[in-house]
Amino acid sequence: MADQPTALERFVQGILPENPVYRQLLGMCPTLAVTNGMKPAMTMACSVAFVLLCANIVTSLIRGLLKPHLRIVVFTLTIATFVTIADRVLAAYLYQMSKTLGPYIPLIIVNCLIICRCEVCASKQNVFTAASDAVGQSIGFGLALASIAMVRELLGTGGLFGIAILPTAWPDWVIMVLPPGAFITLGLLLGCVNWLEMRRS
């Protein structure tokens, strides 16, 4: 396999050219659910980054032992272990935030992004490549979450990270922090990204 991308290429690919949210449409549940504010979105991005990095490294280390028909089960069990760790840590140090995120932390287990990276990259590459792929993809995921959360929090509450930015005369668009706002914001941003991509090529 001579045309396999190198570690650096994989790292760069994950950030924009193959952004997990905008280009691959992976990991939609947390993308929509936790982006009503910057704080939950960033906590989510960090947890996903931790789980993705650890899961990719472990999967890459055991790639010689994997049986084809059992690999998905092995992936999910590996991920579930690290999600449990992340969940306990959040509950211990950021109790309020873990309450807010609620079921979406455990739902990282079934996040297609992580399973997809384990399947596509980590189960075939060495540890270093897998780790750099994980870091690149997590940065891309974090950027995507930040872009959506920024639009929603700014328009919905007139501030970022809970600090007021827009003048008080701004009528808060409550709908933006409610579920419909998530769908509409992501749809419009997705359209914009596609439009930019088309203009560039």
User: Does residue number 146 form part of the binding site for another protein (CB under 8 A)?
Assistant: no
Nearest CB to another protein, comparing residues 1 and 198: 198
Give the integer Cα–Cα distance in Å for 11 and 18.
10
- What residues have CB less than 8 Å from 158, skipping those under 6 apart? 164, 165, 166, 167, 168, 170, 172
Contact pattern for another protein over residues 108 through 127, marking x by CB under 8 A: -xxxx--x------------
Q: Check: CB of residue 11 under 8 Å from CB of residue 133.
A: yes
Q: Which residue has the tokens 């991308």?
A: 5
Nearest CB to another protein, comparing residues 135 and 186: 186
Q: Check: CB of residue 30 under 8 Å from CB of residue 108.
A: yes
User: Does residue number 76 form part of the binding site for another protein (CB under 8 A)?
Assistant: yes
Nearest CB to another protein, comparing residues 42 and 177: 177
Q: Check: CB of residue 41 under 8 Å from CB of residue 146.
A: yes
Stretch binding another protein (CB under 8 A), from 1-9, 49-57, 72-80, 127-135:
72-80
Contact pattern for another protein over residues 51 through 70, marking x by CB under 8 A: --------------------
43 burial (CB, 10 Å; 0-12 / 13-18 / 19+) is buried
Please report, as ranges, the residues that interact with another protein according to CB under 8 A.
25, 28-29, 32-33, 36, 72-73, 76-77, 80-81, 83-84, 87-88, 99-100, 102-103, 106-107, 109-112, 115, 172, 174-175, 177-184, 186-188, 190-192, 194-195, 197-198
